[in-house]
Structure formats: structure tokens, C-alpha cells
């Protein structure tokens, strides 16, 4: 009697797992087909290219006072980490 119950359990498990596998396979195939159909017949319109404005130079780059402050900070950092 025990073998029959175990055999029925294994049969039910394999049937259930097979059913889920087939369902998921069909689902993936259907999704792929629908995606290709939509892409073929309804392509997304290309967005018009928007020209990018030229980057403005950073303010104060040529300021000698700012450059001296930055140089002093870098020198201090290097001296501290030696």
C-alpha cells in the first residue's frame, strides 16, 4: 500500500511540475511573439535631436586669488599625508 501512495505522489508531482513548465514556456513564447509584433507594426518615433548648448566656462577659474587658495590647500593636504 505504501508503494502505491508514494508512486501516486511522485506521479502527481511530475504532472504538476510538467504542467507549470509547459505553461511558463508558452507564456515566454507568447510574450516574445507579442513584443516582436508590437515592435514591427508600432515602432517608437525617434525623438528629435536637441542641440546641446556649449558649456559655459567655470566662473573664477582665472582668478589668481582662488588659484593660490587651491594650491595652498593641496600643498597642506600633501604635507599632512606624508
Per-residue tens of pLDDT for the chain, all 82 residues: 567 999 999 999 999 999 999 999 999 999 999 999 999 998 888 878 887 777 665 655 678 888 899 999 999 999 998 7
Nearest to 60 by CA among 50, 51, 52, 70: 70
Question: How confident is the model at residue 12, as a pLDDT?
Answer: 96
pLDDT for residue 36: 95
What number of CA atoms fall less than 13 Å from residue 7's CA on the CB side? 4
Q: What is the pLDDT of residue 34?
A: 97
Distance CA 69, CA 24 (A): 65
Amino acid at each position: 500500500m505504501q508503494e502505491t501512495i508514494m508512486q501516486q505522489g511522485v506521479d502527481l508531482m511530475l504532472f504538476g511540475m510538467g504542467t507549470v513548465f509547459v505553461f511558463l514556456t508558452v507564456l515566454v513564447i507568447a510574450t516574445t511573439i507579442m513584443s516582436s509584433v508590437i515592435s514591427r507594426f508600432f515602432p517608437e518615433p525617434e525623438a528629435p535631436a536637441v542641440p546641446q548648448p556649449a558649456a559655459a566656462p567655470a566662473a573664477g577659474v582665472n582668478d589668481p586669488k582662488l588659484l593660490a587658495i587651491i594650491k595652498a590647500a593641496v600643498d597642506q593636504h600633501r604635507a599632512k599625508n606624508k
